[in-house]
Amino acid sequence: MEERMPLIGEEFPKMEVVTTHGVSNLPGDYKGKWFILFSHPADFTPVCTTEFVAFQNLMGEFKKLNTELIALSVDQVFSHIKWVQWIKEELKVEIQFPVIADDTGNVSKKLSLIHPGKGSNTVRAVFIIDPEGIIRSIIYYPQELGRNMDEIVRMVKGLQISDKEKVALPAGWPDNELVKDHVIIPPASDIETAEKRPKEYDCFDWWFCHKKL
C-alpha cells in the first residue's frame, strides 16, 4: 500500500524513532501533551541552524503551553549529535529538544516529507499534534525560506483557545484589523439563535459576531 500524506484531523501515524535523546514512540510518548514535529532539510546548513536556535529560544514559551518540540531530518544520529554540539560550542545555545535520525527515510515517507522536485532532503514541515495524538495543523515551507516561529506559537495558542472556548480566531489574531483581540463566535445554525446573536455579542451581522475572551 502506497504511503500518503496524513491529513488534519487524523491520528498521527504510530512509529518508533531513533533520536538524539534515545528511542521514542510517536505519538504515544507525548500523550497528554501537545507536540510539534518539525523537519529540516539538513544538518550543518545556515537556515536550519537559525531555526534550531529560534525554536530553542522559544522552548520556555512552548512549555507554558504544555507543548514539546521534536525535530527530524534524513541525517544520521551522529550528524545530529555533532551539529547540536557545534551550536552549543559556537553559538552558545544548548538544543534541548530531541532530533529524529531518519537516515532510512521511513519516517519521512510516512509523513510525505520528501518531495521529488526538491531532491532527497526533507522539506521544512511543521506538524502540530494535540494531547490525543490528533494532527491539528500542517505547514510546508520551501527549503529556501526559514519559518516564522511566532506564527507557530500563535497557532498553538489559537488551537488551545478554540478547543477550550469553542470559538474561531480571526486573521492576525490577537491583533485583527476588524475585531482587535476578540474571538469569533461560530455562526448561528437556526433562525432563533440568529435573532438572539446581536443582543448577546458584538456583531457586524447575525453571522459575524465576536467577543472578548
Domains of the chain: 15-147 (3.40.30.10), 166-213 (3.30.1020.10)
Residue 203 is among the residues annotated as catalytic for this protein: no
- Give tens-digit pLDDT for 26-68: 999 999 999 999 999 999 999 999 999 999 999 999 999 999 9
Do residues 6 and 12 make contact, with C-beta atoms less than 8 angstroms apart?
yes
* Confidence (pTM): 0.93
- 101 φ, ψ (degrees, to nearest 5): -95, 105
Question: pLDDT tens for residues 172-193?
Answer: 999 999 999 999 999 999 999 9
The DSSP element (H or E) to which 57 belongs, if any, is helix 46-57
pLDDT one-digit tens code per residue, 72-118 = 999 999 999 999 999 999 999 999 999 999 999 999 999 988 877 66
- With a CB cutoff of 8 Å and minimum separation 6, the contacts of 213 are 161, 165, 181, 182, 183
The pLDDT of residue 3: 67
Torsion sign over Cα 92, 39, 103, 144: negative
End-to-end CA distance of the chain: 46
pLDDT over threshold 70, residue 159: yes
The amino acid occupying position 93 is: V
Closest CA to 164 of 14, 74, 34, 16: 34
Residue pair 142/124 in contact by the 8 Å Cβ criterion:
yes
Preceding amide of 27 cis, omega within 30: yes
Task: Give the contacts of 173 (CB within 8 A, at least 6 positions apart).
Answer: 154, 158, 181, 183
Exactly one of 17, 36, 48, 179 is catalytic; which is it? Answer: 48
Contact 37, 70 (CB under 8 A): yes
Measured distance CA(197)–CA(185) in Å, rounded: 9
